Structure 1
Amino acid sequence: MPKSITTSPSRSNRERTETTRLALIDAARALFVSKGYGETSTPEIAVAAGITRGALYHHFVDKRDLFRQVLVREAEAVAADIEAATPGQLTPREALLEGSKAYLNAMSAPGRTRLLLIEGPAVLGLEEIMAIDEATSANSLRQGLEKARLGKGEVSLDALARLLSAAFDRAALEIDAGADAKEIHSAMRWLLEQALGPEPRRKPFA
């Protein structure tokens, strides 16, 4: 006779808590994209998520806190796409080029550019947005630059990473505004290749 599988009360409670939290984040994201942060109210979010307003404030301090969590999840999704596109067998140069393409593709998810690059800085402030960015995709870029030894001591690696990150953000905004995505991708690849310099020649087989 097979043993019955029981779920501990604590695990069940954790699962319910996480399910409710994700439902709130999903509902909030949809409303923030369609209406904007300022025009979205917490009662609307609670109704859309199918929970009470009191439950919302049990999981999040306020609307701003919920908005921040929406942005963190978006930024983490972008970083995950970059990581998936840059497996370990790639050279540092290949990883940077593939990662840049993955970033722009990830930012094309509906509403993501508006959330991370327009609403985010306006609501949370530039310092907090930069902190989120540094912990996710900007960190991936800096690590890629370091592995490629870009600059080779001639320039500040941190400054270079910030400037290139800003260029990628502007590219995402251009695409979101209706610019030709292929042209923007090509321009960003060219820019990164100029920073990388000539590709090293492969040594011939002996």
Structure 2
Amino acid sequence: MGRASKEQSELTAARILDVAINAFGSRGFTAVGLEDVAAAAEVTRGAVYHHFQSKSGLFRAVHAETQRRVGQAVDEATTGIDDPWEALEVGCHAFLRASVQTDRRQIMLIDAPAVLGWDVWRAQDADNSGRLLLAVLSELDDAGLLDVASVPAANALLTGAMNEAALWIAASETPAQSTDDAWRTLRKIVRSLRA
């Protein structure tokens, strides 16, 4: 494949992915057909199959990109923060805010566990925001600033708490108030880990 053809192929795949993120995020996995994605991306259904092999393959890529964007939001929020405790708190708060956006909630927290399974979900989470959480917890532990029995256990528990908080916020009739409540409670949990 020539350079121009490869670039065009990559642009087509990116366009399909963007359209699919919007479709799956707004309507959910079961309500979206590959024909819908192809039409909105102005490509053939064959082009969608060429790049993603199947609807579940496309959704796997959508979930990976959504997880990447949440991880990017956490990374951007913590860039330039030298104090690891502040980075932990700011990162946890950024994760909550990024995860409860309607499209991300639908993809990451509602559809992905059912469509992809928990193993894939956990692996993609660990590659993104989970990697950042583990890094800051390890930094705190290495500096003797963390009072936990196990860094991996603390990582798993905080990850679970934040994902459950995101689901709770998403189901709330007052999401802004619920986000504030969840964050204030999560911050107390995080601060209780300080040595």
Task: Please report the TM-score for the alignment, with normalisation by the length of structure 2.
Answer: 0.90
Residue in 2 aligned with 1:159?
153
Aligned residues: 188
Q: Which amino acid aligns with 1:28?
A: A
Give the structure, 1 or 2, with the largest relative contact order (CA under 8 Å, sep 6 or more).
2
Q: Aligned partners of 1:48, 1:169: CA distance in 2, in Å?
A: 31
Q: Aligned partners of 1:13, 1:36: CA distance in 2, in Å?
A: 32
Q: Does 1:115 align with 2:107?
A: yes
Q: Which structure has the larger Rg?
A: 1
Residue in 1 aligned with 2:182?
184
Structure 1 residue 163, shift from structure 2 partner: 0.9
Q: Aligned partners of 2:116, 2:82: CA distance in 1, in Å?
A: 36
Q: Which amino acid aligns with 2:180?
A: K
Q: Which amino acid aligns with 1:110?
A: T
Residue ranges of structure 1 left out of the alignment (5+ in a row): 1-8, 198-206
Q: Aligned partners of 2:30, 2:19: CA distance in 1, in Å?
A: 15
Deviations 1:81-121 (A, max 9, x none): 11111124421111101111111121133310121111000
Deviations 1:14-72 (A, max 9, x none): 22112111111122122212332122211111111110011111111111010010011
Deviations 1:129-166 (A, max 9, x none): 001011111111111111111655x5121121011100
Q: Does 1:20 align with 2:12?
A: yes
Instruction: Say whether the 8 Å CA contact 2:24–2:106 is kept in structure 1.
Output: no
Residue ranges of structure 2 left out of the alignment (5+ in a row): none
Deviates more, 1:81-90 or 1:63-72: 81-90
CA RMSD in angstroms comes to 1.7
Structure that is richer in helix per residue:
2
Give the alignment of 1:1-206 within 5 angstroms.
Answer: 10-149=2-141, 151=146, 154-178=148-172, 179=175, 180=177, 181-197=179-195
Q: Which amino acid aligns with 1:156?
A: S
Q: Aligned partners of 1:68, 1:187: CA distance in 2, in Å?
A: 32
Task: Please report the TM-score for the alignment, with normalisation by the length of structure 1.
Answer: 0.85
